[in-house]
Structures are given as structure tokens and as C-alpha cells.
Amino acid sequence: MSALYSLRVASEFAAAHHLRHYEGDCNRLHGHNWRVEAEVEARELDSAGMGIDFREIRRNLRAITERLDHRYLNELDPFTELNPTAENIARHIHGELSARLNGPVIRVVAVTVWENDRASVRYTHQEA
């Protein structure tokens, strides 16, 4: 039986958006203090006894969220075309983080995006 280690780090950013094709208040310009949690899976440990340094995950996650911080998301790629819903933001961050971290031993498992302390979405991607 092989071991799996699940590591989680969090980041946050503040950004405005409006939802296209939506009936309700959120179709108007508004903002959130978004919280993002990334879950990374390690299949083995390095010589220091770590799957991956938390700082490495956090540094890469923060590089992604910094590009979103204090911005109007509808003006940023990919959200000029893609509706900037929490679901699409989670998928975008997952893809960006996976491109940075995924390898033979490390895999991004999930990204959870919180719009507030009562509402979140968790995005996972299963390889075919």
C-alpha cells in the first residue's frame, strides 16, 4: 500500500466582479474578500521528511492570487470571456497551480474558493 500525504495552504485576495447572464444583485459590480485553499497530494517524502515545503505551495498560490488582488476580475484573462463565478475562479486557480506544481510525486488535488465565510466552492480535476 502506498502512502499519500495531503497538504493544505491558504491565501486570500480582494477583488471586484459582476456576473454576466445572472438575474439578481450579483449582476451589478460588487466585491469579495476571497479566501483560497489549495490541497496538494504528495506520494512520497523527500530526505527532509516533507512531501513538499508548505512555503513552496504558498509561494506559488500567492503568485496566482496576487495577479487577482485588488482587480476587477471581468477585465482579466480568462474572465473577459469566462464568467468570474467562484466555480470558474476555483478552476482557473487549480489549473494555474497544477501547471506550476504537478509532477511525478506532487499533484494539486483541489482548490476551494470562499466568497465569504458562509459560501464556498471546491474544484477537483480527475485525470482521464
If you ran DSSP here, which 8-state letter would residue 34 be given?
Answer: E
Domain that holds residue 30: 5-124
- Here the cell at position 39 is 490541497
**pLDDT tens digit string along 2-54?**
779 999 999 999 999 999 999 999 899 999 999 999 999 999 999 999 999 99
Q: What is the pLDDT of residue 1?
A: 52
Give residue 90's pLDDT band: very low, low, confident or very high (50, 70, 90).
very high
| Best CA proximity match to 103, nearest among 69, 70, 67, 60 | 60
74 has pLDDT over 70: yes
Q: What is the pLDDT of residue 113?
A: 98
Give residue 73's pLDDT band: very low, low, confident or very high (50, 70, 90).
very high
Per-residue CA distances from 51 to 17, 38, 118 (Å): 36, 15, 31
Q: What is the pTM of this model?
A: 0.94
Q: How far apart are CA 119 and CA 72, in angstroms?
A: 20
The domain that holds 70 is classified in CATH as 3.30.479.10
Q: How far apart are CA 127 and CA 63, in angstroms?
A: 25
- Number of compact structural domains in the chain: 1
Task: Specify the residue for cell string 511525478.
Answer: 104
